[in-house]
Amino acid sequence: MRKVFCFFIPVFVVCLTLLFPAGSLVAQVAINEFMPDPNRDWDGDGEYSYRNDEWVEIVNGGESAIDLSGYRLADGDEDPVWRYGFTGFLPPGAVMVVYGSDSRAWEETNGLPVYGLSLNNDGDRLSLYQLEGADTVLVDTILYTGKAVGDDRSIGRNINAPGEWVVFDAYNPCPDNSIPAGNGCVPTPGLVNNCTTGAEPVSWGRIKNENR
């Protein structure tokens, strides 16, 4: 990134142009919402699968488009186990969702063991990395416990306070000891984390159509 600093000296102005490596900036791309324990057909293929219907959403919180080449999802606390490699560009303010079925297709294409996103229901670590040349840079990571997990509950950033995580639990209200706490909102894969309340058993296709 290029930044220009100007110094006002009595008779003239001196400007210095400084170059900052991208790695020194706060990451623009972050994990935004994810569902470890789906209990319905979230990926819209007509079938329920505990693996294919898991999902992870990322967001571009910056003001410019991001080239997602080199960005990868991983799970677990050991060396990164790659679950998905992104491609394409993410516009500013936009989100992108990866379903377990997308993950399994990517793993298969890349000759890896085919487990999908592997979001453990009793807790896990979910991480977003960026491969930069020979470097593997951790961009964002979240450790969740089983207390946040339940059928059709997603864990997501509060759209009004992105540093705070909440559970979107409209379909399956959280108990009082849920960590983080439930917000009564419907999960929002592929959409910014606005709150829609109401636990009526609508299909995800209808939710998406209503939000278009």
* Cβ 54 vs Cβ 119: under 8 Å: yes
Closer of 47 and 164 to Ca ion (Cβ): 47
Query: Min. distance of Cβ 205 from Ca ion in angstroms?
Result: 12
> Which residues here bind Ca ion, judged by CB under 5 A?
33, 36, 41, 43, 45, 47, 52-53, 57, 75, 118-121, 124, 188, 193
Closer of 21 and 46 to Ca ion (Cβ): 46
Strands 2-9 and 95-99: what pairing?
Answer: unpaired
Closer of 52 and 178 to Ca ion (Cβ): 52
Closer of 75 and 152 to Ca ion (Cβ): 75
Closer of 181 and 207 to Ca ion (Cβ): 207
Query: Min. distance of Cβ 118 from Ca ion in angstroms?
Result: 3
Closer of 25 and 145 to Ca ion (Cβ): 145
* Cβ 104 vs Cβ 91: under 8 Å: no
* Cβ 94 vs Cβ 61: under 8 Å: no
* Cβ 102 vs Cβ 60: under 8 Å: no
Query: Min. distance of Cβ 136 from Ca ion in angstroms?
Result: 19
* 75 Cβ contact list (under 8 Å, min separation 6): 81, 83, 117, 118, 119, 120, 124, 125, 126, 127
Query: Min. distance of Cβ 150 from Ca ion in angstroms?
Result: 11
Is residue 76 exposed (0-12), middle (13-18) or buried (19+ Cβ within 10 Å)? Answer: middle
Query: Min. distance of Cβ 54 from Ca ion in angstroms?
Result: 5
Query: Min. distance of Cβ 126 from Ca ion in angstroms?
Result: 9
Dihedral sign from CA coordinates of 169, 121, 36, 166? positive
